[in-house]
Amino acid sequence: MKSKQLELFVGLFIVLGFASLAYLAIQVSGLGSIGKGDVYQIQARFEDIGGLTERAKVSVSGVTIGEVESIVLDKELYMALVTLNINTDMAVIPVDSAAAILTNGLLGEKYIGISIGAEEEYLKNGDEITDTQSALVLETLISQFLFESTSGDDE
């Protein structure tokens, strides 16, 4: 085989490799769509985060407006301190909004849903959402239900 033709095929092979890498980066892992655009951070403390993970989505009315940046344990209050990255074009979250940890479908991922409040003042970078609702933990729910039903029998 001629040397030029050989080089052509090898070149095609390498270009195919890079094209695959680009495809896997953009289409499969979604690097392009969730670009690190302009974000501001707000915090929220939860009693129990259940199975919430970093990079979980933050949504208002089901529309994604940001993602979870980090989750650490607040050593003084023994609560989970969750930092959220919110897109700057969504800087219109009232200060009395509430954050809840919800589940996407029956077996889906955990995400944070923000219920919009009524104040006219908006949350700024570094502010904290005080009104939070923990993740629903099935065991706690069942034990509550059992406790209530047995105490009902006693009466």
Partner 1 sequence: MTFVQNIGAITLDWLISVGRSGLFIVQSILHKPKSLRVATQLFIKQLYSVGVLSLVIIMVSGLFIGMVLALQGYTILVKFGSEQAVGQLLALTLLRELSPVVAALLFAGRACSALTAEIGLMKATEQLSSLEMMGVDPYRRIIAPRFLAGLVCLPILSLVFSTVGVLGGEFVAVDWLGIHGGSFWSLMQQSVYFSTDVVNGVIKAFCFAIATTWIAVYQGYECEPTSEGISRATTRTVVLGSLSILALDFILTAAMFGDF
Q: Interface residues with partner 1 (CB under 8 A)?
A: 1, 3, 6-7, 9-10, 12-14, 16-17, 19-21, 23-25, 27-31, 33-34, 55, 57, 105-109
Quick one: 20 or 70, whose CB is closer to partner 1? 20
Quick one: 27 or 115, whose CB is closer to partner 1? 27
For residue 103, give the nearest of 39, 28, 49, 42 by alpha carbon. 49
At residue 20, what are phi and psi to the nearest 5 degrees?
A: -65, -40
Q: What's the min distance (Å) between Cβ of 106 and partner 1?
A: 7
Quick one: 17 or 126, whose CB is closer to partner 1? 17
Q: What's the min distance (Å) between Cβ of 84 and partner 1?
A: 16
Rounded to whole angstroms, how far apart are CA atoms 100 and 145?
Answer: 22
88-114 burial, b for 16+ CB within 10 Å, e for fewer? eebbebebebebbbbbeeeeeebbbbb
Quick one: 107 or 118, whose CB is closer to partner 1? 107
Q: Are 44 and 129 spatial neighbours (Cβ–Cβ below 8 Å)?
A: yes
Q: What's the min distance (Å) between Cβ of 150 and partner 1?
A: 32
